[in-house]
Amino acid sequence: MKSLLLAGAVALALSATAPAPASAAEAAKPSAAADQQTENPFFQAWTTPFGAVPFDRIRDEHFRPAYERAFAAHRAEIAAIANSPEPPTFANTIDALERAGELLERVGSVFGKLTASHTNDTLQAIQREIAPVSARHQSEIALNAALFRRIDTLWQRRDELDLTAEQRRVLERYHLSFVRAGARLDEAAKTRMREINERLATLQTTFGQNVLADETDWMLVLEKPEDLAGLPDFVVTAAAQAATERGHDGKHVITLSRSLVEPFLTQSERRDLREKVYRAFVSRGDNGSAHDNKAVVAEIVALRAERAQLLGYPSFADFSIADTMATTPAQALDLLRRVWEPARAKALADRDALQALVKAEGRDYALAPWDWRYYEEKLRRAKYDFDDDALKPYLQLDRIVEAQFYVANRLFGLTFHERRDIPVYHPDVRVWEVQDRDGRHVGLFYGDYFSRQTKRSGAWMSALRPQRGLDAWVHPHITNDCNYNEPTAGKPALLSFRDAEVVFHEFGHALHGLLSKVTYPRLAGTATDRDFVEFPAQIYEHFLSQPQVLQKFAVHYETGAPMPRELLDKLMAARNFRQGFDTVEFIATAFVDLEFHALDLQRARTVDTGAFERQVLERIGMPAEIAMRHRTKHLQHAFAGEGYAAGYYTYLWAGVLDTDAFAAFREAGDPFHPELARRLYEYVYSAGNLRPPMEAYVKFRGREPQVEALLRHRGFPTAGTSN
């Protein structure tokens, strides 16, 4: 069950094979339309291997009747709990809530997977219809007075109930979630809260669909041979394939996929075309078209501020961050500022060096944002004799996937066995069965690595079925999505080093889901504090750059020869070369996200989103030659949903954790140190939300994290040093 999708929401898992309880099924009689769906897979047991989603049988028309029945069943389950004549006990209230909503979870997880990874017009129409209905359903649970009375009674009596540590943690999270959702509001405020939640659900869906539309609709057709000047073979090949997919056979097309945009901006000698691509990329959702997100963002910001005020918080940022490791916006801003200053200083020094390079070439223009990557690559080659194009032939996607499995085996004893008998939603998707060191089944891992027009941009992890241990053990089914250029026939997909790190990052999230070993779904896998959830993903990135991993898996796709030690040394030497740029574009986005959500209600209702974004950037001294990594109108982390609203900073917060934590492996002299790996498994990857995140971190590391590790890792000065 996922009864709430608010910040601090009640996040419960599903069992893909368990039917709804008989009482709920009886109470939730399907409509005539649903009765006609006799072959609807959502109403049947899944006999696929491991109860995997039968994607080969699920059709678009199955979702409306499935949602209808699932909402009705869940309403009946909640009513039975809330209106029980029996006094509240942990078993008849919390355990019952943990078991409720399994059909809704089953439907919602599959629908969410498809709308993110392989959508179409029909699914998008259903998505627009379901979003406010789902929000209304969640609000009715969160604001159910009788249900909250039972939870609150248990919370007040928690010391008398002889609860296990895990049960106490579950009760604590339930109680806090209901309070933060508005359970203590009066009826008028609850009514307004319901209205806000429904409207936000619609707006957030619209935001994401608008961004996808802009990314899908725009393309730059390269008509002449000179339009390809400077582009390496892998970009030319990918652009030719993109052209074919968009009906321009024989030509080349640049789309707004980051996997095409960034290499084009880095390598194209055509400054005029670089400008076109750059402007289109940073203007997604901000074009004054039918897909423009200015008004959408403004309304989202105002509604979130109003909701925070109803709950007694001065701003949405205060509300959102209260239930995180940071606890206050001031704490988050303090970290951003501490890293911003050295990052900005490094970026400004790099800017001057790049401008000197422009002048040395006899050019008389000022460096512009669409020039940065182009001249930066030239400077890197000159300074480190390092060419990213020379690295790419050694970074085959398939081998990087093998490398991520190898690391998981060395750390946690896992093995991965590809399964071709499990249905998938697109031919590109691959599935592996995961087993532990004793050969026991752990779960399923789905990898979906290539971009397509039906898939949203970016990279992410999601769960088709989270782990749970209540009643019977339910093994997780976890997915990773990326957006790399699909290779042409006979050639492998080749990655940049940063692309390879992203593969490892998302697999770190996947392991957090796969290795989860808790009883209660409310605490399973990635259901942790938002500024802790990136830690398992970001620490996993560090293992890619270990020599024993690269020497084994970074092999030339044609010759099979391992990456030369000289090239590996150059890669390591050049790793901090663009830290100024990378950190500035990231922190600028985090500042803008936090500032938008720190507005009080009065200011939020009158904000000019474009002017406000510019004002924040001016205030922090944003270099004009660098753009935010994600401008507000396409910042899906914050506005296509609420997961990272006022929370984009968490990647940097987790960066403190991951660099400090991996320093322990360095101090031990072994990236696979058995005792450290055991503690990483016990207190991080398998532990879900069993304990407060700082407590979990200290149990692994032996102390609280130190920001100096992050500064050193990025090549920035720390106290007592100079750079």
Nearest to 623 by CA among 408, 347, 366, 387: 347
Q: Say how many CA atoms lie within 13 Å of 453 toward its Cβ.
A: 17
649: tokens are: 């900073």
DSSP string, 545-568: TSHHHHHHH-B-TTT-PBPPHHHH
CA dihedral sign, ordered 201, 202, 204, 208: positive
Nearest to 273 by CA among 287, 288, 252, 249: 252
The one-letter amino acid code at 250 reads G
Q: How many helices (H) and strands (E) does the chain have?
A: 31, 7
| Nearest-angstrom CA–CA distance, 137 and 28 | 14
CA 619-625-631 angle, 5° bins: 65
Residue 702, exposed/middle/buried by CB under 10 A (0-12, 13-18, 19+)? exposed
8-state DSSP, 463: E
Helix axis angle, 329-360 relative to 369-384, nearest 10°?
A: 70
- Taking a C-beta distance cutoff of 8 angstroms, is the pair 676, 665 a contact? yes
The one-letter amino acid code at 210 reads N
Active site residues: 506
Exposure string over 88-119, b if 16+ CB within 10 A, otherwise e: bebeebbbbbbbbbbbbbbbbbbbebbbbbbb
CA dihedral sign, ordered 537, 656, 597, 214: negative
SS3 label, residue 460: strand
The one-letter amino acid code at 466 reads P
- Taking a C-beta distance cutoff of 8 angstroms, is the pair 584, 347 a contact? yes
CA 643-77-468 angle, 5° bins: 55
DSSP string, 362-375: T--SPP-HHHHHHH
- What are the CB-based long-range contacts (under 8 Å, 24+) for 222-230? 222/251, 222/252, 222/253, 222/254, 222/273, 223/251, 226/270, 227/252, 227/270, 227/273, 228/252, 229/268, 229/269, 229/270, 230/267, 230/268, 230/269, 230/270
Q: Kindly give the pairing relationship between strand 477-484 and strand 441-450.
A: parallel
Residue 181, exposed/middle/buried by CB under 10 A (0-12, 13-18, 19+)? buried
